A and B are shown apart, each in its own frame.
Chain A
Amino acid sequence: EIVLTQSPDTLSLSPGERATLSCRASQSISSSYLAWYQQIPGQAPRLLIYGASIRATGVPDRFSGSGLGTDFTLTISRLEPEDFAVYYCQQYGGSLTWTFGQGTKVEIK
């Protein structure tokens, strides 16, 4: 089973700053199978990025995804107040199996 490790666990930043979140896979995965989600406390997760770099419908362009192989990154170019949340990466492992990273919390500094 492929394990996804996100770093850091918590990112403390101010509105307007740039956020860089990492997701590392225990073995190489196809970029097609890597997605990112945002979860605001008390809400269901929301799809942000799929295929490692494709923004989902309605996602602002300050969110971008990149990476390949084992190292993937979610970047928020300028943090807005509504972006302070927990972010999860997810990979499809084939044969109808999925795993999530443990999450990175982006908090207000």
Chain B
Amino acid sequence: EVQLVQSGAEVKKPGESVKISCKGSGYSFSTYRIAWVRQMPGRGLEWMGIIYPSDSDTKYSPSFQGQVTISVDKSINTAYLQWSSLKASDTAMYYCARPPSTGWFFDSWGQGTLLTVSS
């Protein structure tokens, strides 16, 4: 069974850094891309970017380019989303998701990581 398990909720102050994770299991991690999706409180879904674990090739949405960093450690089947200097507007639920080998949709999702940024 394909599973994406995300790290727990984080509470941070503005200006702090954070790195959240998404661990894949039940499939060949290196050969499937992992995407990140933001959901601000009471709002819709926004695609942030995607990484290919095999070669770490990464593509960002223009809205998030330069604002976050997506990375991967394929030795431990884990993808990451990180911020170097948080803002209150980064408060949101963040999901990782995986497209299938042939298809341009996301058929597996993590449970979400709630990031709260508040002074």
The reply to whether B109 and A92 form a contact with Cβ atoms under 8 Å apart is no
The reply to whether A33 and B104 form a contact with Cβ atoms under 8 Å apart is yes
With A32-B104, A45-B95 known to touch, is A100 a contact of B44 (CB < 8 Å)? yes
Q: Give A103 to B44 CA distance when docked, in angstroms.
A: 6
The reply to whether B109 and A50 form a contact with Cβ atoms under 8 Å apart is no
Instruction: Say how far B31's CB is from chain A's closest CB, in angstroms.
Output: 15
The reply to whether A97 and B61 form a contact with Cβ atoms under 8 Å apart is yes
Write out the residue numbers on chain A whose beta carbons fall within 8 Å of the beta carbon of B35: 98
Is A35 an interface position by the 8 A CB rule? yes
Is B41 an interface position by the 8 A CB rule? no
Count, chain A residues at interface, CB 8 A: 25
Contact pick for A44, options B50, B95, B103, CB 8 Å: B95
Instruction: Say how far A46's CB is from chain B's closest CB, in angstroms.
Output: 7
Instruction: Say how far B102's CB is from chain A's closest CB, in angstroms.
Output: 10
Write out the residue numbers on chain A whose beta carbons fall within 8 Å of the beta carbon of B50: 96
The reply to whether A45 and B104 form a contact with Cβ atoms under 8 Å apart is no
Q: Give A90 to B33 CA distance when docked, in angstroms.
A: 17
With A32-B104, A35-B105, A96-B50 known to touch, is A44 a contact of B44 (CB < 8 Å)? no
Write out the residue numbers on chain A whose beta carbons fall within 8 Å of the beta carbon of B111: 44
Write out the residue numbers on chain A whose beta carbons fall within 8 Å of the beta carbon of B110: 44
The reply to whether B105 and A47 form a contact with Cβ atoms under 8 Å apart is yes
Is B55 an interface position by the 8 A CB rule? no
A-side residues, CB < 8 A to B, are 1, 32-33, 35, 37, 39, 44-47, 50-51, 56, 88, 90, 92, 95-103
Q: List the 9 closest A-B pairs by CB distance, nearest first.
A: A92-B104, A35-B105, A44-B109, A96-B59, A98-B47, A100-B45, A50-B105, A103-B44, A102-B44
| Other A-B pairs beyond A1-B62, A35-B106, A102-B44, 20, CB < 8 Å | A32-B104, A33-B104, A44-B110, A45-B37, A45-B95, A45-B97, A46-B109, A47-B105, A50-B105, A90-B45, A90-B105, A90-B106, A97-B47, A97-B59, A98-B104, A99-B47, A100-B44, A100-B45, A100-B47, A103-B45
